[in-house]
Amino acid sequence: MMQLVTILCPLDFSAASAPLLAYATALASCTGAELRLLHVLEPQLVLSGETAALPEPEAQQLLLQYQAQAAQAGAQRVATLVRHGEAAREIVREAAEHHADLIVIGSHGQTGLTRFLMGNTAEHVVRCAPCAAILVKPQSDSAFRQSA
């Protein structure tokens, strides 16, 4: 069986982030692994041609809130970090640089035109990750709690 020392959980702050965090936290709590919560600041193309991204201080504040939730739910070691760039590449880079044993990533995030133009982040991460990756659907949180 694979020993989990480091679990990477990229979060995009969408509605899917809460169940994703719960799933990753449960794994970290059960295994004693370090949980690394990552948000990638990725400029988004908007119709006006300008770029828009969540300001870094706001992203860091949201990550700190998620860190507190994970710690309260039993994760012993929780780190937060913000990276800049294209999400899929930065997730894979973070996993490689910090020797992640597992990436827990949401299967939903980008939709419609954004997904068409920028590609599917989760798909790229699963294909290119230097470690195992689990895709979590938004409804997986309740299913995980029932089976645990």
Q: Is 8 helix (H, G, I), strand (E, B) or coil?
A: strand
Q: Which residue has the higher pLDDT, 93 or 135?
A: 93
Cα(64)–Cα(77) distance, integer angstroms: 13
User: Residue 148 has what pLDDT?
Assistant: 44
Long-range contacts of the stretch 71-75 (C-beta < 8 A, 24+)? 73/22, 73/25, 73/26, 73/29, 74/25, 74/26, 74/28, 74/29, 75/25, 75/28, 75/29, 75/35
CA-wise closest residue to 81 among 99, 96, 69, 67:
67
Residues 62-70 have a mean pLDDT of: 98
User: Residue 9 has what pLDDT?
Assistant: 98
**Using one digit for the tens of pLDDT, what is the confidence trace for 100-117?**
999 999 986 555 544 444
Extract the tokens encoding 136. Answer: 């979590």
pTM for the complete prediction? 0.84
**Using one digit for the tens of pLDDT, what is the confidence trace for 26-42?**
999 999 999 999 999 98
Q: Is the pLDDT of residue 96 over 90?
A: yes
Extract the tokens encoding 27. Answer: 């794994």
Domains of the chain: 6-20+31-106+126-147 (3.40.50.620)
Residues 64-91 have a mean pLDDT of: 97
User: Residue 1 has what pLDDT?
Assistant: 58
